[in-house]
Amino acid sequence: MKVWAEGKAGVELIRGKLEGRGLELSEDEPEIVVVWGGDGSILRAARKYPNSCLLGLREKSLGHLAEIDGSRSDYAIERLVRKEYRVEEVPRVELSLKGLRIHGLNEVYFSREYEYATRFRVLVDGEEPYEGELFGDGCLAATPRGSTAYSWTAGRRIILKPDDKALVFTPLSSGHLNKMVIIDGISVAKPVEQLRVLDDKKIVVSILVGGKNKFAADGLAQTQIYVNLEKGDEITFRKAKETTKFVRLPSQ
């Protein structure tokens, strides 16, 4: 079995342990990649090795993707040697516009890069959950795993269970154009709530007033693309056909 180790400083020690237990080290199409670090390291490895299974060893960092504490690396490697593990396929989410398509393990989003708010409508399988025009900075859709990351800090309402067959959709810093609320005697636009959307449904954002926007996934610089949105453009969020494979050990 070909394996490799990626991640933060100290990963050389993990490679030495893998080799010392008789496993073949190879960067070329490894069956399993052991990732030393936190969620950022996992996200980068998932993009670099899309066909490999990932085993995350958490090195002090806060996160939910690297689930095994780094102090248990010897135990984890022993399970690999004995092949005492299972493989879980974790769904991804995608964003598409015309010929452009981006997918992510945590989230995908678009956000404005100009001075005016984007105006848009949202349809979920043809129905309009927000009942009218919205304005704001953009939109984000997150997987169950990603619901604890950018999605949570952007909306602070919905966290999904890892096995939930749903996405979280979040209009970013957005308000209802024609719905107002009174706060301390001042009339302001009603904030837009997050939605829990079953992952067999399609979310379409129809642009009414656009401009230059950044499209990206998982907070990774290499995924960023800049697009000039125009009236009539439709941005689609949905569950992606791609998955990310994770190694799960008996103790998980």
What residues are annotated to the active site? Answer: 39
Three-state secondary-structure class, residue 49: coil
Instruction: Give the residues across from 2 on adjacent strands.
Output: 24
φ and ψ of 19, to 5 deg:
-65, -40
Q: What H or E segment, with its residue span, contains residue 216?
A: strand 212-217
Q: What H or E segment, with its residue span, contains residue 154?
A: helix 150-155
d(C-alpha 238, C-alpha 73), whole Å: 36
Instruction: Give the residues across from 204 on adjacent strands.
Output: 123, 236
Decide: 29 and 52 in contact? Cβ < 8 Å: yes
Residue environment code for 217-227, b if the CB has 16+ CB neighbours within 10 A, otherwise e: bbbbeebeeeb
Decide: 155 and 148 in contact? Cβ < 8 Å: no
